A and B are shown apart, each in its own frame.
Chain A
Amino acid sequence: MKHAESPAAKAAAFLREYGFIAILLAVIVGFSVSTNSFMSMANITGLLHSSVPLAIWAAGLALVVMTGSLDISIGSVAFFANAVGVILMVRQGVSPAIAVPATIAIGALCGLINGIVTVYLKVNPLITTMGAMFIYRGLALQLTGSRVISVPQGLRAFGNFRLGPVYTDILIGLAFLVVMHVVHKKTPFGRHVMALGNNKETADRVGVRVKAVGLSCFVLSGLCAGIGGLFSVFQIGAVTLQMGTGLEFTAIAAIVIGGISLMGGEGSIFPNYVLGILTLGIIENGLNHLGASPYVYPFVRGGIILVAMYADSLKRNGKPRVLLTE
């Protein structure tokens, strides 16, 4: 028997699902009213430009999370892969045409190693990727000799190239996320990702190649980390020693804020993930424009994550586990 929902229940469900968007819109309006510069075209493009590295960096992690797993090594993977790439270019004189694909391949390789240990050797993903986080960072520090390595001027110019008022990396980043979205929503692989997140045993019983899908998500996570790192390096013009430090938490925060459940089986690249990335960027940007006290930033960031986690928990607890049908 199907129960008709009361208007109050419908409103509550709507708020649970889209309440965060309403809050975000209110925040945007608030920043726009409080400052003259926040809603300017230049600021919006600047905000999108600075959001591109994180958006790509963590897109693979979003898929890993949707399978109900976790990868906290993405910051170190990006650091290691990009350290190798930049060293090839700067110290060995290798052409970017070779060094850039090598960077991406190293990122994917790191993801593959994480995936094998997690999926095939059945080591807890948190433990695996925590170990990997230390290993890749240690290797990167060893390779760089603990030195900041600047990239050639031409690559920095490429990372900040504009077509009219729009940075080209915004367009590349958007295209990348659209491809990820299509892969997630329109291919059997994407459906299998969600199946894994919902219930691994059931997915296995219905013929999903659970291990292959899980492994592929880790490879994608490493690959995205490598590419996102490249965008960051090209924008700022250097591989710094702090590269990717704490990034895993920022990425997880963006994922949770966007409404992708840490329990897996829920969420999407558009709009969830992108919304989460933009929310963090907007908050940081808006506080900059407001000239907020530097001590306010972590407070606001933490508050938003808390609200998002609470919303996620409400969604989970409020959702009927079994659909009642007539």
Chain B
Amino acid sequence: MNLKAIFCLAVSLLFVGASSTLSLSAEKAKAKTITIGLSWNEKMHAMIQAWEDYMKKYGEQYGKENNVTIKWIVNVADSDPSQQASNIEDLINQKVDVIIARPHDAAAIGASIAAARKAGVKFITFDRKSSGVQPDAHVGADSFNQAISTSEAFAKILKDKGIKGKAIELMGDLRDMNAVQRSKGWHDVEKSKKQWTTVIQVPTEWDAQKFMTGTANALQAHPEANCMFIASDFAFSAVQTALENAGRWAPIGDPKHMYIASQDVNPQGYEAMKAGYIDVATTYDCYFHAVELVKVAAKLANGENLKGKDFLVAGRVATPANVETLDNMWARDYKD
């Protein structure tokens, strides 16, 4: 090979290298950055950390797949609606593209939505809806359908066993729409399937101590009760204590077994279901909520008009047979 040929080869290689570098830079230059402001009302639950982690994790994946970079600015309001309003104002001033807020107060969040709209910032409410001014979109769990899917599966379990249920219902906090919807779902299926009768409703206000005393009192008042609906299994050990004290703690298959339908599959619920004490539950799917949130935020950032639509994520029905094999279970990843 003569010198001229070597020179031509070198120039060609340089050209190819330079052009590929240039095209890569151009591609990088084309990659859009979406800045999302995330306003938590509080961080008093592992689930909230799970949501945030999953959002960031899926955000990275979504960014790679769609050639965008997602930046997050996160703040927490410590259960104070006025602090949340101030935090959202900060996000607006930082000129984020989209705000995702989990409202602490369904009414108070309306003013923040209006302020964001005025500033041209898109707004998504998450998990809890606004009762006033409506956002560009809402993402959350479908609490009503969550209870419906659990209750229907529970009705089938009781029917297959030939059992007519007398149920204790442990309700959540009646100020929480999720709790109200779950109760409604349970009673709708009760009416339609006629597989059980709710003999007593106990409000727990999401207080673990009341899960225990409520169960104990209900069992005293209705010793004939043979099944339970628990609005959330986050404090299941409190229910376990009451059942143990009443001599009713027994796994599936034991004649003393109390049939239990619960909601969420939190870490304590997950363990109890694995051990065969909870018959059925519907998951509160943090991972899928996060996926939906990132997708909806990206659509809004790209100028799509979602007209205040609700994006509700249905949970998956879990039983002792499948609970260990369901993927993306936050209760597995975030248990102590």
Contact = CB atoms under 8 A, between A and B. Distances in A.
A148 interface: yes
Nearest to B334: A147
Interface stretch (A1-9, A35-43, A202-210): A35-43
A160 B243 CA distance: 12
A237 B211 CA distance: 12
Contact of B200 (A138, A156, A291): A291
Given A156-B237, A243-B208, A40 B220 contact: yes
B266 A160 contact: no
Contacts of B200: 288, 291
Interface in A145-174: 145-150, 156, 159-160
Contacts of A289: 217, 220-221
A38 B217 CA distance: 9
B201 interface: yes
A91 B336 CA distance: 9
Given A147-B267, A235-B212, A240 B234 contact: yes
Interface in A182-213: none
Interface string B218-246: 10110100000000001101101100110
Nearest to A238: B237
Interface in B166-224: 171, 174, 199-203, 206-214, 216-218, 220-221, 223
B128 to A, nearest CB: 17
B220 A46 contact: yes
B82 interface: no
B307 interface: no
Contact of A150 (B46, B199, B218, B336): B336
B49 interface: yes
B43 interface: yes
Contacts of B44: 141, 146, 241-242
Contacts of B214: 288
B330 to A, nearest CB: 11
B237 A242 contact: no
Interface residues of B, number: 43
B48 A291 contact: no
B90 interface: no
Contacts of B46: 145-148, 241
A53 B220 CA distance: 21
B69 interface: no
Given A156-B241, A243-B208, A146 B45 contact: yes
A301 to B, nearest CB: 11
Interface in A225-258: 232, 235-238, 240-243, 245-246
Interface string A57-95: 000000000000000000000000000000000110000
A242 B218 CA distance: 22
Contact of A238 (B218, B235, B245): B235
Tell me which of A232, A240, A293 has the highest count of chain B C-beta atoms within 10 A of its own C-beta: A240
B251 to A, nearest CB: 15
Nearest to B335: A147
A236 B241 contact: yes
Given A90-B336, A146-B44, A240-B208, A134 B78 contact: yes
B220 A146 contact: no
Contact of A148 (B203, B216, B336): B336
B61 interface: no
Interface string A90-124: 11000000000000000000000000000000000
Contacts of B45: 146, 241
Contacts of A176: none
A50 B209 contact: yes
A17 B174 CA distance: 36
Given A150-B268, A236-B238, A284-B213, A37 B43 contact: no
Interface of B: 43-46, 48-49, 78, 171, 174, 199-203, 206-214, 216-218, 220-221, 223, 234-235, 237-238, 240-241, 244-245, 266-268, 334-336
10 contacts: A35-B221, A38-B221, A46-B213, A90-B336, A148-B268, A149-B336, A159-B241, A238-B208, A242-B207, A288-B213
